[in-house]
Chain A
Amino acid sequence: MNLLDALLLASLATTVIMFLYGNHPRVAWMSVGFYGVQLAVAALLGYQLSQTGGTQTLGITFTVMGNPLIWTMSGLGWFFAIITIGAALFSAWYAAGEWSKDQQSLRLFHGALALNVLAMIILLASGDLLSLFIGWELVSWASYLIMAQRGGAAAQAALRYIVYAMAGAMAILVAIVMLQQYAGSLQFDAVRSALVGAPDAFVWAVMLLFGAGFMVKMAMVPFHLWQAEAYSETPGPAAAFLGAISSRMGLFALLIVLVQLIGLERLMAMDVVFSFWDARTLWAWLAAITIVIPTYIALTQSDARLLLAWHGIGQGGYMLLGIMVASPMGVSGGLLHVFNYATNQAVLFLAVTAVLYRTGTTDLDRLGGLVTRMPLSFVAMLMGIIGLAGLPPMNGFVSKWLVYKSLIDNGMPLLFLAAAIGTLGTILSVYKLIHNTFLGQLRLEHQNIQEVPWSMSVPMLIVGALVFITGYMPGLALDMVSLAQHALGVASLNYTLGGVQTEHGGLNMLWVVSILIFSIGIGALVFFMGNRSVKVHQLDNYAGGHFLSADIRYHYSHNFYAGLMRVIGPWYRGSIVWLEAAVGSAVQFSSSVAHGLYRRVNAAIYLPAVLLLALMWMWL
């Protein structure tokens, strides 16, 4: 039994045990240990992969209808897998303690979580296109299960997701069949060599079909509408897991097809007709649009979970954008952002869930001032938002810096501008998130709430610490990235523990963060050693020159950024929402027609008509 066998076996065992006994609180705690085991096995596997530089193949293979089914994990799959297991570990930990007290079915929650991990590992270990498709479908339906478990609105959102996912999956299946008939095999090597000589039109067709399917999972514009609602309706810790890694499965599969099968050089050689663009530029701009539009939609959200979920869509764009730059630095930045964003989103969702657990709401208009009551959650969220916004000293800064730098180095100023606009929107809306939740004056009804229990705050803070540590020492995460990059066949980046070194300057986070801490230290020194300070109570402040008495709680949260919205508000058209509704009602209408057709009593009338038509067709 090799390490991949062991990993899948451990994951399978976790899934079975959780579905059978997950309702028991102690078993829920044990799941944390199970994920720990999986993480250890995965770490060993990673060590082995980095030593041998190769891949690890599963002991079991099948042959169905002439197609061998093989599971092989390379560095790329391993990189995504270790993030997956880590995310599951912290989600399960967070969910194991007090949080679970008011949950309906813990068995479903833990079972679905373990099933998701299993399905994702199967997908990430796929060694040919057929096993990729099987893994893909497993992941889709496992996500559906975890999203729909609450019923009601969650089930509706999940149904919307699965409709998108099935349409995408069918597109993928068609592309796979096309490749099977063209290349005569579904093995990656055979497909890769067959695509080298394939005509451009064929490669375009295959790429667009695959792309449409994988973009659904990544929630790239225009297939993004399902995600925010579905994730925000998922129970908190599961949403943290989904938000952290689930959509990245789309990125993984897209990388397989775009980078490994078609190849970036080929993408650059395929021109978009009637334009100056090639296929690579098209993908880069799709990524840029995915950064900008969902990020600004996030800005208008007034629910914390929806806001985060919309950001998740936007951040996926940075990853693809970095990879589409196709330089070692860009690819590193894109992949590193997968890890960084997973930590950011996990800690943010966990912090918002903590707020929800104590206050019962995530409505940003009904919160405020919680910093005095839940300081640890505040710290966790602060770390998360700095990371998400891409500011030092957190890890999000490093990956975004790499992406920006590679965009500028490779002469793509417009894409850089789009990415920067996206970051601006991110900063604005994460500020809105922390301001409306934790700053301002505490509401009367939240007077007596307390910090969340340790079972929830500890995992949250550990993830927050990860955000900081991998920001301080990005080399730790870049170790994993280089393994993935090697598997992708892209040249490695020259990196150190503190950052990267290139000929046009580098980045050393050890220095950046140290200077930052040093200057904050000086500020603190001045603050504490200087003149005596006055401590102002949270409620003791003014608004517009007016003194507000303590019985009128004042917190400016509704219609945040009203001024900005006056300027950019008219740009929100909701065209894609409209398009989705139009398709939906067209289907409804035609289904009414079809139903009416079958409900006719005198149906025999169709007979002569169809007969006539058919005869005409046959004769002409």
Chain B
Amino acid sequence: MNPVLPIVIPMLAALLLPMAQRAHAIAGRWFGIAATAVNVLIAIGLWTSVSNQGPLTESVGGFIAPLGIMLRADLFAVLFVFAVSAMALLLWPRGENDRVREETLMLLLISGGCGMALSADLFNLYVFYELVAVASYGLITSRASGASYAAALRFLILSAAGSALALLGIAMVYSATGTLNLVQLAQLAPESLHGPLGMTAFTLMLLGFGVKAELFPLNTWVPEVYTAASARVSAYLAGIVSKLALIVVLRLVMTAYAHTDATSLLLVVGMITALSGELAALRATDLRRILSYSSIGQLGLAAMAFSIPGSLGVMAGTAVMLHHLVVKPALFLLAEQWQSSSDSSSMARLTGLASRSPWSAALFLLLALSLIGIPPLPGFWAKYLLISALLTEASVWQVLATGLVIVVTVVKTVYFMGIAQRLYQRDAEESSRLQWQSEVGLQQPFTPVAVLGGLVVLSVLLAAPLGDTLERLSTQTVEFSGVPAMRSASIVTSEGALP
């Protein structure tokens, strides 16, 4: 199966959607969903072929690197192709204002996201990254409220600054090596990139791509945007888009910057991100804001994991990301569900909610406990892998990082259990205020939450096979990059990359 398909199909669908809508209303309604569903099927097909035959490489149009566009589907990339498409299906926009526009943007976002996952080329990564960025600006404003415009504008400004930095970094890499293909970069890096110039380029790219990856310091848009945008968009941005940006960083660290100081910069940035995010969540007073800050914290943890060289780091980071990808969107949707019927979004509204909607409160508790990392919930395994990865080398920074994981977990416990206690509070005077609330019920918004919650429960039972898959996946991800460093010539020529 061709790895170009998951990029091309949604992009074509995005272009054709307005026409389809004009031609036939019902066709227009199902067009985008159908394209996304096809994408999911393609992802599954890619997964089976990749796991049987190993990574697929595709030079688009037959042009070979450094001129051609290289795509590479390893298990890691295919996993994210699947996640991008499947989550889009689950969080399909509800068309609050302009359905066609939102769906078009969503399809563009899927196309860009799949492109980011599959690209083996720094420039393409940048192009797809920008595509994703533009689509997200549009989606954030889909609510058409003042706050969402303000948030989108702020995001736009920060994102533009970040993109400029990233582009500058990419240009520096190109000037130093003459190629942007990641496999070739991995080969050329030791002589040409492991100096001040290369490190500067990495710093610029890390901070630049860090805008979307919610990494410090360009992540101040996060709480604003996730609170102002509609819950589905926030869930998608927090769940998927932020991870895609982190993948870019991972690819960089695994290829061009393996075995350099770059990893320690990533570790420190991750640590600051995780600590500041979780601490800010402790102080926040609005549920969706808390969830946004907690999302920053989780991505910081993932970045810390990716800074560990070798497959253990990739495995831990992937586990953290996958877990967050399932849990956080569900929490965002629950938060919106609880707060949508009131103007005020203050926490006081949540008091005693469990007596009115016991199922959604129980689900919230389950997801929160998983985020904290209580065995046997999947969050525990992610945390276990993270600590395992951090303790492989007992350097000062990694010991510090391990301590930080402890602190962050305790802080997370405080605020999540604070919310849980509020939900389960039984107070006579408070319950009179709850007249407006009712059980969330099995209406449409609850379905994705139930699906995601079901996934969490399922992963408890499937912990063993999931762990095996994760191990295979991370070994393959490391090979993508680690191999050229050791057995460079044979691999690269077999892929037809070098003349």
Binding site for B on A (CB under 8 A): 62-66, 104, 133-134, 137-138, 141, 148, 151, 155, 159, 162-163, 166-167, 170-171, 173-174, 177-178, 180-181, 587-588, 590-595, 597-598, 600, 603-604, 606-607, 609-611, 614-615, 617-619
Contact B464 A603 (CB under 8 A): no
Chain A residues near B374 (CB-CB < 8 A): 137, 141
- The minimal Cβ–Cβ distance linking A29 to chain B, given in whole angstroms, is 25
Residues of B within 8 A of A (CB): 157-158, 161, 165, 196, 199-200, 202-204, 206-207, 216-223, 261-262, 265, 268-269, 275-277, 279-280, 282-284, 293, 369, 372, 374-376, 380-381, 383-385, 387-388, 391-392, 402, 405-406, 409-411, 413-414, 417-418, 421, 424-427, 463-464, 467, 471
Q: Is A591 a contact of B283 with CB atoms below 8 Å? A: yes
B276 near A597 (CB under 8 angstroms)? Answer: yes
A593 CA to B165 CA, complexed, in Å: 27
Q: How far is the CA of A34 from the CA of B158 in the complex (A)?
A: 62
- The answer to whether B282 and A166 have CB atoms under 8 Å apart is no
Give the chain B neighbours of A619 by CB distance below 8 A: 196, 199-200
Q: A159-B418, A159-B421, A618-B199 are in contact. Are A610 and B391 (CB under 8 A)?
A: no
Q: Which of A167, A591, A618 contacts B279 (CB 8 A)?
A: A591
Report if A600-B220 is in contact (Cβ < 8 Å); known contacts: A181-B392, A614-B207.
yes
Q: State the CA gap A595–B286 with chains docked (Å).
A: 12
Asked if B158 contacts A151 (CB within 8 A), the reply is no
CA distance A181 to B384 in the complex (A): 12
**A595→B384 contact, CB < 8 A:** no
Residues of B within 8 A of A607 (CB): 161, 165, 207, 217-218
Smallest Cβ-Cβ distance to B374: which chain A residue = A137
Instruction: Offer 30 A-B interface pairs, CB within 8 angstroms, sorted by A.
Output: A64-B464, A134-B376, A155-B425, A163-B414, A166-B372, A170-B406, A170-B409, A173-B383, A173-B384, A174-B391, A177-B384, A177-B388, A180-B388, A587-B411, A591-B280, A591-B282, A591-B411, A594-B277, A594-B280, A595-B279, A597-B280, A598-B219, A598-B280, A603-B158, A603-B221, A604-B161, A610-B207, A610-B217, A615-B200, A618-B261
Name the contact of B421 in the complex, choosing from A155, A174, A588, A604 (C-beta under 8 A): A155
For A617, what are the chain B residues with a Cβ–Cβ distance below 8 Å? Answer: 265, 268
Give every chain B residue within 8 A of A166 (Cβ-Cβ).
372, 409-410, 413
Q: Distance (Å) between the CB of A202 and the closest chain B CB?
A: 10
Q: For the complex, give the distance between the alpha carbons of A174 and B402 in Å.
A: 8
Contact A170 B410 (CB under 8 A): yes
Q: Which residues of A contact B275 (CB under 8 A)?
A: 594
Most chain B CB within a 10 A radius of its CB, from A598, A606, A614: A598
- B283, A618: Cβ atoms under 8 Å? no
Say what secondary structure dominates the interface of chain A: helix
Give the docked Cα–Cα distance between A223 and B125 (Å).
50
Alpha-carbon gap, A591 to B220, bound state (A): 15
Partner of B200 from A170, A591, A618 at Cβ < 8 Å: A618
Beyond the given A587-B279, A598-B280, please list 12 additional residue pairs across the A-B interface where CB-CB is below 8 A. Answer: A65-B384, A65-B464, A159-B414, A174-B406, A587-B282, A588-B283, A594-B283, A603-B217, A604-B158, A609-B217, A610-B217, A611-B165
Interface of B is mostly: helix
- Closest residue of chain A to B421 (Cβ to Cβ) is A155
Q: What's the least CB distance linking A578 to chain B, in Å?
A: 20
Tell me if B203 and A614 are in contact (CB < 8 A): yes
Bound-state CA distance A162–B420 (Å) is 13
Given A167, A173, A593, A598, which contacts B387 in the complex, CB threshold below 8 Å?
A: A173
- Does A62 lie within 8 Å of B220, measured CB to CB? no
Contacts of B265 in A (CB 8 A): 614, 617-618
Query: Do residues B280 and A151 form an inter-chain contact, with CB atoms below 8 A?
Result: no
- B199 (CB) vs chain A CBs: closest residue: A618
Q: What residues on B are CB-neighbors of A594 within 8 Å?
A: 275-277, 279-280, 283
Q: Are the C-beta atoms of A134 and B375 separated by less than 8 Å?
A: yes
Please determine whether B372 and A610 come into contact, CB atoms closer than 8 angstroms. Answer: no
**In the complex, A148 Cα to B413 Cα: how many Å?**
15
- B contact residues around A138 at 8 Å (CB): 375
Contact of B284 among A151, A595, A611, A614 (CB under 8 A): A595
- Knowing A606-B217, A607-B161, A615-B203 are in contact, say whether A65-B410 is a contact too (CB < 8 A): no
Q: Please, how many angstroms separate the alpha-carbon atoms of A607 and B388 in the complex? A: 32
A112: min CB distance to chain B, Å: 13
Closest-CB distance, A109 to chain B (whole angstroms): 14
Q: Identify the closest chain A residue to B386 (Cβ).
A: A177
Q: Smallest Cβ distance from B4 to chain A, in angstroms?
A: 35
* B402 partner residues in chain A, CB cutoff 8 A: 174
Write out the residue numbers on chain B whose beta carbons fall within 8 Å of the beta carbon of A133.
Answer: 375
Measured CB to CB, the closest approach of chain A to B241, in angstroms, equals 19
Q: Are B375 and A590 in contact (CB under 8 A)?
A: no
Cβ–Cβ contact A163 & B280, under 8 A: no
Complex CA–CA separation, A162 to B385 (angstroms): 23
CA distance in complex: A4, B269 (Å): 49
Contact check, B406 vs A159: say whether CB atoms are below 8 A apart.
no
A167 CB, nearest partner CB in chain B, Å: 5
